[in-house]
Amino acid sequence: MEQEIPVQLADFDTFPNLVSLFLDRAELRGDAPFLVAKKDGVWVPLSWNQVADQVCLLAQGLRDMGLVDGDRVALVSENRPEWCIADLAIMAAGCVTVPAYTTNTERDHVHILDNSSARAVIVSGAKLAKPLLPAIMRTGIAEDLIPMEGLRQYQSGGLRFHDWAALTSGDAARARAAVRARMATIGRGDTACIIYTSGTGGAPRGVMQHHGAIMCNVHGAAEVIAQDFKWEKERFLSFLPLSHAYEHTGGQYLPLGLGAEIYYAEGLDKLASNIEEVQPTIMVVVPRLFEVLRTRILKQVKQQGKAANVLMNHALRIGGNRARTGRTPLLDRPMDAVVGAMLRPKIRKKFGGRLKAMVSGGAPLNPEVGTFFDAMGLTLLQGYGQTEAGPIISCNRPSAGIAMDTVGPPLRGVEVRIAEDGEILCRGELVMHGYWQNPAETARVLQIDPATPGDAPWLHTGDIGHFDKRGRIKITDRKKDMIVNDKGDNVAPQKIEGMLTLQPEIGQAMVAGDRRPYLVGLIVPDAEWAQDWAAANGQPADLATLKELSEFRAAVRAGIDRVNEELSVIERVRQFAFADEEFAIENEQMTPSLKIRRHKIRDIYGDRLNALYKR
């Protein structure tokens, strides 16, 4: 029988691991829908019981392959019910999930498989197996491959292929009992997954997230929903990559903990229609989506005639006033009521009509975009965090007052303080235990306060900020050089710049793209190569003149394109501009230790780099 009233918040503290939490919710929800995806144009649900059976059977299959406690299993798949089933099954087998992005190149897979020493790999199908299989062959570590769909068995040496359907069928009761017994030995401090995120040196680092870190996040987020919005029968629409910590925790384990339904979007191209069909109550999103939806809404309203545009203008004016003052001014209230009756219901309908809140994370949100959605009558909450913290550190909530230029107060169980240099530090159960096989980086970001040596370490986030008068965190700068694009993906610029400067055409390079849809580059051509090119092509050797030639530009572009072939989609440099002169200590564009001064270079070439997004 389907449970109508949720369990209490205190319930979250009683579970030793994520699998035990899931099995408890499955017993409570029974045959109610849990994971829902479209097949042949129809939304088809899997019940909590069906999912639990498949999870436990697959877990038993993994153990029968010879996997033991602590073994790593890589997971490469698009968002779909099988992703959640595989993730839970890996943990239910006592193993550790290693998610990988669907955009990974063969080179990316080689690093992750080699670094994690994954003994088995689960992949969705032939498309994603194409760059993955060569990486498996090159590393030679994984022994078992489990495709979710039919995959032709290649000549693969000792790699064993397994059938998903066979592994997820059999004696479910026996498998459940085995999982229950195994979970009695797994604690909150045990590693649940290793999520790879780009490091400042370029090589992705494996963040070891333990069960308690994710459950601490889930508990804190559930408290926001229960206390600020009322915890009811919730429905989530999953579309951000589940290999990203934000969706993994907020889009999978939060709804699991709430006993909610998870619908899987058909893709970004069908997201708008999926939202209307699914009628989600909560959406986990990134700023770029808000920007796209805002543009779409404004365009649609513009086409509806003068009356609709007048209402929109009033709504935006009132929303702006409310953002500045924290309340709706008395003189605005009559028109606000008109907008509330005639415009906002139409906008809400486009979001399904049941939406309680959209939670933005993964990258900074432009306050103007947040103000727009507030003006439309949609609650938008901005969160903050990083993979090393489960990943949620704080989130806006109505009870604390929503200010679009803040990321809200810390979640339950999260301690935050500001260091002397302004860096945001946090600690609590949510903080990772370290980077996989990387003690040096672990020691750099996890530091114990010398004044209290017995306490847990503080996570040094690399972000600069402060608390406002209401206890909300306001981020003002980034201490680290990591680029975070508008979709929330982390990109290490040093890695790309290093690859670019290995090309004969390129002497120096700086990559930019923070909060932007793609990366751009500022290039200093190699002086000797430029002279050789000029001589071979009958052109003057003056570099300033060469930069004006389309043929010279195309030759430099060829070097960038070679690098792009070795990079994932999010790392590729789409556009570039030439610098006026080389980066040097004398012009203050390099430090004495010959590191580029990013802020200085951005100050000089900011307009030129921004212009690359208008092409």
Taking alpha carbons only, the member of 181, 397, 393, 365 closest to residue 289 is 365
The answer to whether 225 touches 282, Cβ cutoff 8 Å, is yes
Taking alpha carbons only, the member of 104, 103, 200, 109 closest to residue 493 is 200
β partners of residue 310: none
The answer to whether 395 touches 381, Cβ cutoff 8 Å, is yes
Architecture of domain 492-611: 2-Layer Sandwich (3.30)
Sorted by sequence, the CB contacts under 8 Å of residue 297 that are 6+ apart come out as 347, 350, 376
Q: Quickly state the pLDDT bin for 156 (edges 50, 70, 90).
A: low
Q: Quickly state the pLDDT bin for 27 (edges 50, 70, 90).
A: very high
Sorted by sequence, the CB contacts under 8 Å of residue 496 that are 6+ apart come out as 202, 509, 511, 519, 563, 567, 571, 573
| Amino acid residing at 60 | Q
β partners of residue 524: 508
pLDDT of residue 612: 95
User: What fold does the segment set 17-186 form as a domain?
Assistant: Rossmann fold (3.40.50)
β partners of residue 235: 261
Q: What end-to-end distance do the CA atoms of the chain give, in Å?
A: 57
Q: By three-state DSSP, how is residue 75 classified?
A: strand
Residue 513 gets which letter from DSSP? Answer: -
Residue 1 has pLDDT above 50, yes or no: no
pLDDT of residue 492: 77
pLDDT of residue 389: 97
Mean pLDDT calculated for residue range 255-264: 97
Sign for the CA dihedral angle at 208, 211, 217, 220 comes to negative
Rounded to the nearest integer, the mean pLDDT of the chain is: 91
Long-range contacts of 229-233 (CB under 8 A, 24+ apart): 229/356, 229/357, 229/398, 231/6, 231/258, 232/6, 232/281, 233/4, 233/260, 233/261, 233/281
Residue 439 CA, chain-centre distance (Å), reads 24
Residue 139 has pLDDT above 70, yes or no: yes
Tell me phi and psi for residue 82, to 5 degrees. -65, -25
- Determine if residue 474 is left, alpha or beta; phi over 0 gives left, psi from -120 to 50 gives alpha, anything else beta: beta
Q: By three-state DSSP, how is residue 420 classified?
A: coil
> Residues 460-517: pLDDT tens digits?
999 889 999 999 999 877 777 778 898 888 787 888 998 898 888 999 999 999 889 9
pLDDT of residue 155: 56
Sorted by sequence, the CB contacts under 8 Å of residue 436 that are 6+ apart come out as 115, 116, 194, 205, 206, 207, 208
> Residues 40-92: pLDDT tens digits?
999 999 999 999 999 999 999 999 999 999 999 999 999 999 999 999 999 99
The answer to whether 48 touches 90, Cβ cutoff 8 Å, is no
Residue 76 C-beta-side C-alpha neighbours within 13 Å: 30
Tell me phi and psi for residue 525, to 5 degrees. -60, 150
Sign for the CA dihedral angle at 337, 339, 342, 348 comes to negative
Q: Quickly state the pLDDT bin for 329 (edges 50, 70, 90).
A: confident
> Structure pTM?
0.83
pLDDT of residue 3: 46
| Amino acid residing at 51 | V
Taking alpha carbons only, the member of 241, 232, 244, 332 closest to residue 280 is 232
What residues does CATH 3.30.300.30 cover in the chain? 492-611
